[in-house]
Amino acid sequence: MTDPVSTHPLIDRFGRRISYLRISVTDRCDFRCVYCMAEDMTFLPRKDVLRFEEIEAIADAFIARGTTKIRLTGGEPLVRRDIADLIASLGNRLGHGLDELTLTTNGSQLAKHAKGLAAAGVRRINVSMDTLDPERFAAITRRGRLEDVLAGIAAAQDAGLAIKINMVAMRGVNEDEIEPMMAFAHGRGMGLTLIEGMPLGEVGLDRVDTYLPLRELHEQLSRRYTLTRLDQRTGGPARYVHVAETGGVLGFITPMSHNFCESCNRVRLTATGQLFLCLGQEDQVDLRAAWREGGPEALDAALDHAMHIKPKGHDFALDRTRPEPAVARHMSVTGG
């Protein structure tokens, strides 16, 4: 582990304490989901991607300054070569300032990694899955196989991992599957979180036509189910309800219809070492350059600067008068 320079908490100029770091270990993915990526993507040269020891040094600096939760993302984190080594190493920080290590995955590689994740101290994961129909799954992901993801989920549960399904709700695409997905997830002891689509990068989807406000969906579901608001928080932006009829938990992430910026506690590190202070803004700090050029002291100073420039919030908008994405980079660049 890297010796920290500072242990002062990371608090931005709006008084928000940063306790949650999302680390994109790669921009690559074995899927090309229509709301996330263009079909023909140009990925980063591998030489530009942070080395594992650099990721660990940056993680140590965050942990020393009060970050208690780290989530690994991508792209698809489990496609990076030797990713199990990084996960095991970061797992050694658990109980030493780090309370939770988790990841978000598309599930395609989960069957072969599930036991290793559990052994490293990972206790729960998010699996992105937007449909239970094999043909629709292939269309949304452009190349994925639903059976691989279901096998991965089964392996993860066998390994003792708690699972939450993340589902991007899209009008005219999968809105008819929200209740079946809820039954599927809750019937297997998993949570389900619904997510509004966000205008990030040019992709193969009409975001205006497919936008489904979750407030509208919540109202529809409340006519058929007994939804009781929960105070449950998992460190992210989701708001949760208990569904009496299924006995499960349903989450809503609403970056478009009701943003959650006032309680933002997180920042995102890209695979090239750029620290984005907001998913919906371009404010960033180059932590890779800070580390390589000045070591721990420069990295610490860069984190102080990041807290000074972290914006108050995003300003996503989606309508026919503004068809271009709010942010040019794809979701896979920042880590979803």
Report the binding-site residues for GTP. Answer: 22, 71, 104, 164, 266-268
How far is C-alpha 39 from the chain's CA centre? 21
**Nearest CA among 118, 100, 110, 62 for reference residue 236:** 100
C-beta separation of 113 from 91 below 8 A: no
Binding site for [4Fe-4S] cluster: which residues? Answer: 29, 33, 36, 261, 264, 278
Quick check: helix, strand or coil at residue 138?
Answer: helix
Q: Would you state the torsion angle of the CA atoms of residues 219, 225, 231, 234, taken in this order, to the nearest 10 degrees?
A: -90
Binding site for S-adenosyl-L-methionine: which residues? Answer: 35, 75, 128, 198
Q: Tokens 């529809």: give the residue.
A: 220
Q: Tokens 């009829």: give the residue.
A: 245
220's CB contacts (< 8 A; 6+ apart) are none
C-beta separation of 5 from 296 below 8 A: yes
Q: Which two tokens stand for residue 45?
A: 């040269």
Give the whole-angstrom CA distance, residue 296 versus residue 1: 12
DSSP string, 178-222: HHHHHHHHHHTT-EEEEEE---BS--SS-HHHHB--HHHHHHHHH
Question: How many CB atoms within 10 Å of residue 145?
Answer: 14
Binding site: which residues? Answer: 22, 29, 33, 35-36, 71, 75, 104, 128, 164, 198, 261, 264, 266-268, 278
- The radius of gyration computed from the CA coordinates of the chain, to the nearest angstrom, equals 19
DSSP string, 91-105: HTTBTTTB-EEEEEE
C-beta separation of 326 from 199 below 8 A: yes
